[in-house]
Chain A
Amino acid sequence: MIRRLPFLVASAALAAAAGCVAAVPRELLDAQTEYETASRGPAGALAPVRLHEAEKALDRANREYAKHPRSKQVADLAYVAKRRVEIAESEARAEQARRYVASVEGEARARMLAQGGSWRAQQDLAEAERLRQAQEDAERARAAQAQAEQRARDAEAQAAQREEADRLAREQQAREAEAQRQAEAQRQQQEALTKAQEADRKAQEALERLEKIAQVREEPRGTVITLSGSLLFATGQSELLPQAQSRLTEVAEALKQSPDTQLRIEGHTDARGTETLNQDLSVRRAEAVRNFLENRGIDPERIAIVGYGSSRPIADNRTPDGRAMNRRVEIVLKPRTGVGGAGR
């Protein structure tokens, strides 16, 4: 066919020159040129089947042109022929590349064999190396992952340990605080007990001292300290006698020892004189005692006074001894209840 081409081209050109047909379409000329170029290149040897198909396509286009020079289908057929040439060339290039790869591999194999090794073995080694590398990478990644997980677990365990230690410390602290609180409570209890005992003891001592200077007795209304009126006041008077002051000072000291008591100072007279005078006198005497005790440091809030005049005798007013006993001041001690006593 290649040998026929010049004839076909020549006949087409001749026909065109004779003015019998239209000029040869550019597509056809391009296809012819490309075919000639390809047939001189590697396609002839590397893609002979494809090149033959291109030749047939070009032949078809030429024949169409020879028969119907003005046919628009010449351009279509030339287009197809041109593509067939390009297909042949593409296939030739691909085949050339494949052969090059084969030759490179062959040469490498030969070199390996010459060096006492096997090219395939080398390839296998390379593949094995790649696999080993990949496995190592995977192993490293796994190890890193495991390490990270271990670190996370360690951190978690440490956090748990710290939390446990904190919890234990808190519990220990709480136990210590509780023990301290209990010890403190015990100490306070003990202290209170000691204080109470001390207070009792002091109160007892005070009572004992009072018993030496005055008559002391227990009654339902409280502890009653009775001071003889003749020892404290002159007849009809409400000023304290000098000798009474030392006695009352001792009473005050004794009362100071029992600060939790309420004092009620009651003034009493004998039945001589009018009731009004006696009443007034008894109040003034109670006041005098109260003022003295206040001056000796007894809290005024503890003290209440009352005057009973001659209304509450304890002996016969007809005898001098009985009247002497009725002239008296009584101090009634009661535990503090927060309720105030009688008016002052």
Chain B
Amino acid sequence: MRRTLPLVLMGSLFLACAAGRSATREQRASSLSSVSAARQAGAEEVPEAATYLALAEEEATRAEALMRDGKHRDAQHMFERAEADAELALALAEEAPARAEATRARERLPSVSP
């Protein structure tokens, strides 16, 4: 028992670290996917969306650095921030044309109240 306990503890630690790295990698993939989706949606062309896209990219870069430093938990949270900012950029990029269309509809038919 004395011999096996350290081994079990070391194995648990190893598994925990491995799980942390895996979660970070998954979060990283998810974040980068969101950034890509926002860019494809034209977030760079919509000023308010572009701000959040830039923020997401910056956070993703910082998260990569944290990963390289072995700070997987911090990296994962930074990737989560990046993902949230990228998804907001995407939402704003999709909102802009909808609102523009509403404005055009209002101009076309000014007598129809919204």
Binding partners A and B: yes
The residue that B112 contacts in the complex, of A77, A86, A104, with Cβ under 8 A, is: A104
The answer to whether residues A97 and B99 also contact, given A107-B112, A108-B112 and a CB cut-off of 8 A, is: yes
Chain B residues whose C-beta falls within 8 Å of the C-beta of A84 in the assembled complex: 84
A107 touches B84 (CB 8 A): no
A83 touches B105 (CB 8 A): no
Residue interface bits B79-114, CB-to-A below 8 A is 1, else 0: 011011101100110110011011001101100101
- Chain A's nearest CB lies how many Å from the CB of B93? 9
The answer to whether residues A83 and B87 also contact, given A100-B114, A101-B105 and a CB cut-off of 8 A, is: yes
The residue that A91 contacts in the complex, of B84, B95, B105, B109, with Cβ under 8 A, is: B95
The residue that A94 contacts in the complex, of B73, B98, B105, B106, with Cβ under 8 A, is: B98
B106 touches A90 (CB 8 A): no
A76 touches B112 (CB 8 A): no
Closest to A47 in B: B91
- Chain A's nearest CB lies how many Å from the CB of B47? 14
- Chain A's nearest CB lies how many Å from the CB of B42? 14
- Chain A's nearest CB lies how many Å from the CB of B55? 10
Q: When chains A and B are docked, how far (Å) is the Cα of A93 from the Cα of B105?
A: 16
The answer to whether residues A104 and B106 also contact, given A80-B84, A90-B88 and a CB cut-off of 8 A, is: yes
Chain B residues whose C-beta falls within 8 Å of the C-beta of A93 in the assembled complex: 95, 98-99
Interface of A is mostly: helix
Interface of B is mostly: helix
Q: Which residues, 31 to 88 on A, are CB-close (under 8 Å) to B? A: 57, 73, 76-77, 79-80, 83-84, 86-87
A83 touches B109 (CB 8 A): no
Say if the beta carbon of B25 comes within 8 Å of chain A: no
Closest to A126 in B: B108
B77 touches A94 (CB 8 A): no
Closest to A110 in B: B112
Q: When chains A and B are docked, how far (Å) is the Cα of A94 from the Cα of B81?
A: 23
Chain A residues whose C-beta falls within 8 Å of the C-beta of B84 in the assembled complex: 57, 79-80, 83-84, 87
The residue that A90 contacts in the complex, of B92, B105, B114, with Cβ under 8 A, is: B92
A97 touches B95 (CB 8 A): yes
> Number of contact residues on B: which range applies?
20 to 34
B94 touches A83 (CB 8 A): no
- Chain B's nearest CB lies how many Å from the CB of A127? 13
Chain B residues whose C-beta falls within 8 Å of the C-beta of A57 in the assembled complex: 84
Say if the beta carbon of B78 comes within 8 Å of chain A: yes
> Number of contact residues on A: which range applies?
20 to 34
A76 touches B87 (CB 8 A): no
Q: When chains A and B are docked, how far (Å) is the Cα of A94 from the Cα of B91?
A: 9
The residue that B105 contacts in the complex, of A73, A86, A87, A100, with Cβ under 8 A, is: A100
- Chain A's nearest CB lies how many Å from the CB of B33? 16
Chain B residues whose C-beta falls within 8 Å of the C-beta of A107 in the assembled complex: 109, 112
The residue that A80 contacts in the complex, of B80, B95, B98, B105, with Cβ under 8 A, is: B80
Q: When chains A and B are docked, how far (Å) is the Cα of A216 from the Cα of B112?
A: 138
The residue that B91 contacts in the complex, of A73, A77, A90, A103, with Cβ under 8 A, is: A90
For A79, A83, A93, A101, the residue with the greatest tally of chain B CB atoms inside 10 Å of its CB is: A83
Chain B residues whose C-beta falls within 8 Å of the C-beta of A83 in the assembled complex: 81, 84-85, 87-88
A94 touches B80 (CB 8 A): no
The answer to whether residues A98 and B81 also contact, given A86-B88, A90-B91 and a CB cut-off of 8 A, is: no
- Chain A's nearest CB lies how many Å from the CB of B67? 15
Q: When chains A and B are docked, how far (Å) is the Cα of A19 from the Cα of B72?
A: 31
Q: Which residues, 49 to 80 on B, are CB-close (under 8 Å) to A? A: 73, 77-78, 80
Chain B residues whose C-beta falls within 8 Å of the C-beta of A86 in the assembled complex: 88, 91
Q: When chains A and B are docked, how far (Å) is the Cα of A86 from the Cα of B86?
A: 12
Closest to B49 in A: A90
Chain A residues whose C-beta falls within 8 Å of the C-beta of B80 in the assembled complex: 76-77, 80
B109 touches A108 (CB 8 A): yes
Q: 5 tightest CB-CB pairs across the interface, nearest first? A: A83-B84, A97-B102, A90-B91, A76-B77, A94-B95
* 20 intermolecular pairs with C-beta atoms under 8 Å apart: A57-B84, A76-B77, A76-B78, A77-B80, A79-B84, A86-B91, A87-B87, A87-B88, A90-B92, A91-B91, A93-B99, A94-B91, A97-B95, A97-B99, A101-B105, A103-B112, A104-B102, A104-B105, A105-B105, A108-B109
